[in-house]
Amino acid sequence: MIEIEAAIPADAARLPLLRGIAAALAVSLDFDIDTMADMRMAVDELGATVVTRARPESSVRCRFASDGDAVTVTATAPVTTSQDVDRASFGWMVLTTLAQSVSCEVTDLDGSGPQLTVSLTVRPTQAGQ
């Protein structure tokens, strides 16, 4: 099991860091080139979805986990509203096309305000489907 956690400022200019982690992980798992590209694009869209909704001056926590057969990426950030992500948006369509599974939820578990969590799973066979 591989687990990587990163926290970045909620700033779109920092998204290349998440794409770089995704690419490095895909290479280390010997994913095919198509799956690597899909994973990078999916992580970019996941990060953009969270960053654009995040509270100003906050951080986005991103966790990459792999059991060898798949990579699950989860990004979480405090948000200004408890409104759900628009699942009819182009960005959501990109996520659901590139990843085997995608989930999203807005919670307020500790009373500090709403937090958005978006998670996706990519498998190497995804590119061949």
The residues, any chain, with a CB within 8 Å of residue 101's CB and separated by 6 or more, are 120, 121
pLDDT, tens digit (0-9, with 9 covering 90-100), for 32-66: 899 899 999 999 999 999 999 999 999 999 999 99
Which residues, in sequence order, are CB contacts of 34 under 8 Å at separation 6+?
127, 128
Q: Is the pLDDT of residue 95 over 70?
A: yes
- H/E element, 34: helix 33-53
3-state helix, strand, coil in the chain (%, to 5): 40, 30, 30
Per-residue model confidence as pLDDT tens digits over 57-84: 999 999 999 987 899 999 999 998 888 8
| Residue 72: its H or E element | strand 71-78
Q: What is the mean pLDDT of residues 112-127?
A: 84
Is the pLDDT at 21 greater than 60? The verdict is: yes
